[in-house]
Amino acid sequence: MINKINFLFVTMLGIGKIKKIPGSVASLVTTIFLFFLLHILKIPPNIILIFVIIIFFISLYAVNIFIKNLDNKDPKEVVIDEFIGQSIPICLYEIAHEGVKETSQVLTFYFIMFILFRIFDIVKPYPVSYYDKNFKNSFGVIMDDVAAGLYVVAVLVLYMVFTS
């Protein structure tokens, strides 16, 4: 029972078992889920960010248990790291832009954050690649996506600085 719950957690309720591009699907589902929480249910972004931080710490343990007996220490079915990495730029964008925003503007930025996150997660520029190559454990699995999410934040901050 515990292993089944852990499997459902690290695979985001089985999304990670999708045959093609499970990481991209998990990132897209995360983006849509966060839009729903933040703009339909109107949950404050600070609360969501605290939730993401809690998931980060739970994931360190859960992913470690999941990969313990596997040869591949970063299996494609583990997609909770995509949830964490994709959530970082979205939460920080929402915190930085609290207040009323046009839906079209929000959707545009969410789309840009999704695309940028997928690019950084796939291309793995340094330090994303550093975590991916040097930590063959749950820390490496999760931190490469955290670093990719922080790259998205950096790009958006630069964009906002140059366009303001």
Query: 3-state DSSP: the chain helix, strand, coil percent, rounded to 5?
Result: 75, 0, 25
What does the alpha-carbon distance between residue 58 and residue 85 come to, in Å, rounded to a whole number? 14
Over residues 23-53, the pLDDT tens digits come to 999 999 999 999 999 999 999 999 999 999 9
Model's pTM, two decimal places?
Answer: 0.94
Residue with tokens 């093609």: 20
Of 92, 101, 81, 84, the residue nearest 156 (C-alpha): 92
**Closest by alpha carbon to 144, among 123, 122, 155, 129?**
129
pLDDT in tens, 63-96: 999 999 888 878 899 999 999 999 999 999 999 9
Q: Which residue carries 């670093």 as its tokens?
A: 147
In this predicted structure, which of 71-75, 95-99, 112-116, 132-136 has the lowest mean pLDDT?
71-75
* Nearest to 11, CA basis, from 46, 59, 56, 51: 59
Q: Cβ distance 146 to 91 under 8 Å?
A: no
Q: b/e map of 125-159 (b: 16 or more CB within 10 Å)? A: eebbeebbeebeebbbbbbbbbbbbbbbbebbeee
- Name the token pair of 100: 């009323």
